[in-house]
């Protein structure tokens, strides 16, 4: 899942005219000295569990119920509360659309785009009905919702939504249904520069090429575990880190349909965080250990463990996922946390 909107157009390109079909990240040597615990936000203003977190370059957005709390990272204070919808506990997830706009999905089949600087909802549209096992992703004007065997793709004209005429949104929304050619239920998904990859209950990976309208299925013989997380590498979109429910972690080469086992089956599996300057970052609980993996290696280059007070450690153990900001900060959160945790990667 991507958290910024800086990539180029996702459709087919004439590579003779465009020598960089995707954004390459600059390589940086990440060392233990580059990592610091930047902030643990345990403010009285958070009266309810933080259900979700969205992160921009400057603002942490905590999804609390039907409203969001905006926290300024530099000033270290809450700056705004924005009510997104009326129904309590309805927001399910959020995605950064631009530096000032965030897209939120809800249980009542409506998506909302919030302008952070104005502190209000500027656009909303109907979506598919949410299901318990639904997985979603957003990447450069594309929103995908996967429900069982059904995949719905939304094309959102983000610039038209952001640039309004006399207060009215002029954007248009287009959606289409992609037919899944597998009988397995979809468990996770990841949008990338030219398409979509989904995982299934039996370990199958399915690729949908938007520009060429083609589908490719890759199976791992002997694998019976469901896929729980996928991260297509931005430094090389032909590769992906795939995590399975049995705790194993594999690096897939889509072109050659080969994979390397990075980590075998494990009771306490890793959470794939994202990719930072040619490093893939994973989090292991309950010992709250970050591992930094080189793209060309099958062993972690180094590990970093968060050390904190016992009462806060108990809360940290409920971490369920991580989001990455464009400025290379990590925000951790859990479904039962009443605090926000930020891990800062310094340059």
Per-residue pLDDT tens for 282-321? Answer: 877 777 788 888 776 667 777 877 766 666 666 666 676 6
Cα 23 to Cα 8, 142, 159, 236: the distances in Å are 8, 17, 20, 10
Q: What angle do CA 91, 94, 98 make, to 5 degrees?
A: 140
Cβ-based neighbours of 84, under 8 Å, separated by 6 or more:
66, 67, 68, 91, 104, 106, 112, 114, 121
pTM: 0.78
Residue 37 burial (CB count, 10 A): 12
Higher pLDDT, 162 or 89: 89
Q: pLDDT digit string (tens) for 125-138?
A: 888 887 778 899 99
Backbone angles phi, psi at 258, to 5 degrees: -125, 160
pLDDT category of residue 19 using cuts at 50, 70 and 90: very low
Residue 187 pLDDT: 93
Which of 280, 278, 207, 284 has the alpha carbon at shortest distance from 250? 280
Mean pLDDT for 94-115 is 88
138 with 152: CB under 8 angstroms?
A: no
Write out the two tokens for 18: 């465009």
pLDDT above 80: residue 14: no
CA–CA gap between residue 1 and residue 63 (Å, rounded): 18
CB atoms within 10 A of CB 147: 18
- Find out whether 226 and 202 touch, Cβ atoms under 8 Å: yes
Sheet hosting strand 77-83, strand order edge to edge? 52-55, 59-63, 67-72, 77-83
Is the Cβ–Cβ distance between 60 and 41 less than 8 Å?
Answer: yes
Instruction: Output DSSP code: residue 159.
Output: H
The H or E element containing residue 120 is: strand 120-126
Integer angstrom CA distances of residue 313 from 46, 109, 282, 287, 317: 18, 36, 18, 9, 6
Q: How far is CA 259 from the centre of its chain?
A: 23
Q: Percent of the chain having pLDDT more than 70?
A: 65
Gyration radius of the chain's alpha carbons: 20
Sign of CA dihedral 49, 310, 280, 208: negative
Pick the CATH number of 187-305 from 1.10.287.610, 3.40.50.300, 3.30.465.10, 2.130.10.10: 2.130.10.10
pLDDT of residue 26: 35
How far is CA 34 from each of CA 37, 83, 312, 343, rounded to the nearest angstrom? 10, 36, 23, 11
Domain extents for the chain? 187-305
Q: Are 81 and 64 in contact (CB under 8 A)?
A: no
Query: Residue 315: its pLDDT value, please?
Result: 65
User: What mean pLDDT value characterizes the chain?
Assistant: 73
- Residue range 162-173: average pLDDT? 49
For the stretch 251-271, pLDDT in tens is: 888 888 888 887 777 766 677
**Residue 312, SS3 per DSSP:** helix
Residue of 186 and 78 predicted with greater confidence:
186
Cα dist. 254→10, 164, 217, 242 in Å? 18, 41, 10, 12
Residues 6+ apart with CB under 8 A from 318: 334, 335, 336, 337
């Amino acid at each position: 899942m991507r958290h910024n909107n800086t990539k180029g157009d996702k459709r087919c390109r004439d590579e003779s005219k465009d020598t960089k079909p995707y954004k390459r990240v600059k390589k940086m040597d990440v060392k233990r000295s580059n990592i610091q615990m930047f902030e643990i936000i345990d403010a009285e203003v958070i009266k309810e569990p933080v259900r979700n977190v969205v992160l921009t370059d400057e603002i942490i957005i905590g999804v609390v119920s039907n409203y969001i709390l905006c926290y300024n990272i530099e000033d270290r204070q809450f700056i705004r509360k924005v009510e997104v919808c009326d129904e309590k506990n309805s927001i399910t997830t959020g995605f950064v659309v631009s530096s000032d706009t965030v897209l939120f999905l809800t249980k009542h089949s409506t998506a909302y785009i919030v302008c952070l600087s104005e502190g209000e909802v500027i656009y909303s549209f109907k979506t598919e009905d949410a299901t318990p096992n639904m997985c979603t992703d957003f990447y450069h004007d594309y929103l995908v919702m996967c429900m069982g065997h059904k995949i719905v793709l939304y094309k959102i004209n983000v610039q038209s939504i952001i640039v309004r005429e006399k207060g009215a949104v002029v954007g248009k929304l287009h959606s289409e249904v992609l037919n899944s050619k597998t009988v397995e239920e979809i468990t996770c998904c990841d949008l990338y520069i030219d398409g979509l990859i989904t995982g299934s209950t039996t370990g199958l990976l399915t690729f949908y090429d938007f520009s060429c309208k083609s589908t490719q299925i890759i199976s791992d013989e002997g694998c019976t575990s469901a896929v729980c997380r996928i991260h297509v590498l931005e430094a090389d979109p032909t590769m992906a880190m795939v995590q399975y429910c049995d705790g194993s972690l594999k690096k897939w080469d889509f072109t050659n349909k080969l994979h390397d086992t990075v980590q075998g089956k494990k009771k306490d599996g890793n959470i794939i965080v994202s990719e930072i300057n040619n490093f893939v970052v994973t989090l292991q609980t309950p010992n709250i250990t970050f591992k930094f993996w080189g793209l060309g290696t099958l062993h972690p280059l180094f590990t970093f463990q968060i050390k904190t007070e016992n009462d806060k450690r108990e809360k940290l153990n409920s971490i369920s996922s991580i989001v990455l900001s464009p400025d290379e900060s990590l925000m951790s959160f859990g479904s039962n946390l009443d605090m926000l945790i930020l891990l800062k990667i310094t340059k």
